[in-house]
Amino acid sequence: MRILALLVLSCGLAASSAALAEDPASAGYGTAAGCGPAPTTTLTVPVAGHPFSAIPNADGCSVYVSVAGVAPATSGNVAVLQRKGDVVTVAGSVPVHSQPAIMALTHDGKLLVAADAIDVAFIDPVALAAGQANAVLGYINEKGTGVVSVAISPDDNTLFVADESSSTITVIDLAKVRAGDFTADTVLGKIPVGRSPVGLAVSNDGKYLYSTSQIAPASAKWPIVCVREGQRKKGVQDAQGMVMVADAQLARTSAATAILSLVPSGCNTVRVALSPDNTTAYATARGSNQVFAFDTAKMVPAPDAAQTGVVTVGTSPVGITLTGNGSGLVVTNSDRFNTGTDGTLSAIDTTKFASGAGAVLGIVETGAFPRELSMTSGGTMLVTNFMSNTVEFIPANPLPLKPTADETPSTDASAPPDP
């Protein structure tokens, strides 16, 4: 019977992998002719520091990585990795003022933007790859706001910046920046949000901005239902986190009045991602160990009725990405309050999201504190292992899935919350 059970489990995982596996052409992936076929086994690349986010270029042959300094007082850098076949090398790096976090690349691929704690850094990706010392084109000072994340509008004219410490989203005229203006005149306004905003996403048509906050603002008057991370023994102290929906166009002229709705989304909501057709928004709730799904058509007119499903995953989920045509969703189980152990990814079948646990296809093992996820055009998943100081190139067609482990949420949450 045990042999039969193992065979059934093995067949089930094979079917799960097939659910996430897609032909690169039909999934919208390109071919990486310049650097060879996508890897078929996981490649682990060490970097000099704590990698936060990894952003591939259009062909997936170059990957830009924000690397925080190992010591708190040590500034970080932005590095570029280049792949040739199954060999990945660190081709160059450039220092930045502080601790770089989440980055974004303009849609034309000509400008790399990095959240850098005290400012926003603007980098020429071509100069970075060439190892030029002048790759950083300029900075916009945001000292005291805790700049942690950035997102760019589809037309590359607007930059949204999550200010974790000041509970705001700064709106910047990116067209002015690209013309060489790095002064405060480029700041169009600030959207007031909840506590600790991090995750950002902009709709394909440029109309809507989605932003996460770990705790809803007091003005929302939501009930206190969440245990505070790092203080679990004290019981519930906070309201739920949220996904804010804002009018992205209005934010350019009247940021303070651009908010359209606040959508409850579990405890300590930290990231948000949109399905390729923008009909569904997914959010990771780190304090709930869950991923939420929302019908975007209902998020503004009926925020309390927008939720379409919730799936429990591993400990402290953070990073999130859709695979291929949106039928697959992968999140990082960061276990960020117990970072001495390796983490995992949870793979989810989005077509079964409403079934809860039945949507989880399996896990992928990673290094310690997997933080962010992204996909290359060739179908490779990039994972930044913050505490292992590595970036992993994981084949996503199919993912190397294992059975879902019984991951009991950590109770030793002694570290302070951060993104």
Report pLDDT digits (tens) over 81-112: 999 999 999 999 999 999 999 999 999 999 99
Residue 320 counted as domain residue: no
- 118 domain residue, yes or no: yes
User: Across all residues in the chain, what is the average pLDDT?
Assistant: 89
One-letter amino acid identity for 306?
A
Percentage of residues of the chain with pLDDT beyond 70: 88
**What is the per-residue pLDDT for 34?**
83
Number of structural domains in the chain? 1
Number of C-alpha atoms within 13 angstroms, CB side, residue 192? Answer: 6
344-362 per-position pLDDT tens digit = 999 999 999 999 989 999 9
Asked if the structure places residue 2 within a domain, the reply is no
In the structure encoding, which two tokens stand for residue 80, read together?
């570029």
CATH number at residue 162: 2.130.10.10
| Token digits of residue 352 | 């079964």
Phi and psi based region of residue 167 (left: phi greater than 0; alpha: psi -120 to 50; beta: remaining): left
pLDDT band at 342 (very low <50, low <70, confident <90, very high): confident
Residues facing residue 105 across a β-bridge: 112
Do residues 264 and 216 make contact, with C-beta atoms less than 8 angstroms apart? yes
Residues in the chain: 419
Q: How confident is the model at residue 39 (pLDDT cuts 50, 70, 90)?
A: very high
Q: How many helices (H) and strands (E) in the chain?
A: 4, 30
126 occurs within a structural domain: yes
Q: What is the pLDDT of residue 301?
A: 98
Spatial distance between the Cα atoms of 99 and 340, rounded to a whole number of angstroms: 21
**Considering the domain boundaries, does residue 62 fall inside one?**
yes
Between the two ends of the chain, the Cα-to-Cα distance in Å is 46
- 169 domain-assigned: yes
Lookup: tokens for 411 = 């109770």
Q: What is the mean pLDDT of residues 115-135?
A: 96
SS3 254: coil
The domain of 185 spans: 51-192
Residue 257 lies in a domain: no
User: pLDDT band for position 406 (50/70/90)?
Assistant: low
Decide if pLDDT at 380 tops 60.
yes
- Whether pLDDT at 75 is above 50: yes
8 Å CB contact between 57 and 64: yes
Over residues 212-269, the pLDDT tens digits come to 999 999 999 999 999 998 787 788 999 999 999 999 999 999 999 999 999 999 999 9
**Worst-scoring range by mean pLDDT, 40-44, 308-312, 329-333, 410-414?**
410-414
What is the pTM for the complete model shown? 0.91
Q: What is the pLDDT of residue 415?
A: 38
Predicted pLDDT at 78: 98
> Is 64 within the bounds of a domain?
yes
E-strand stretches of 203-300: 208-215, 226-227, 236-238, 242-247, 259-264, 269-274, 280-285, 290-295
Q: Can you give the pLDDT at residue 324?
A: 74
Average of per-residue pLDDT across 202-208: 98
Calculate what percentage of the chain has a pLDDT beyond 90: 81
Work out the pLDDT band at 407, boundaries 50, 70, 90: very low
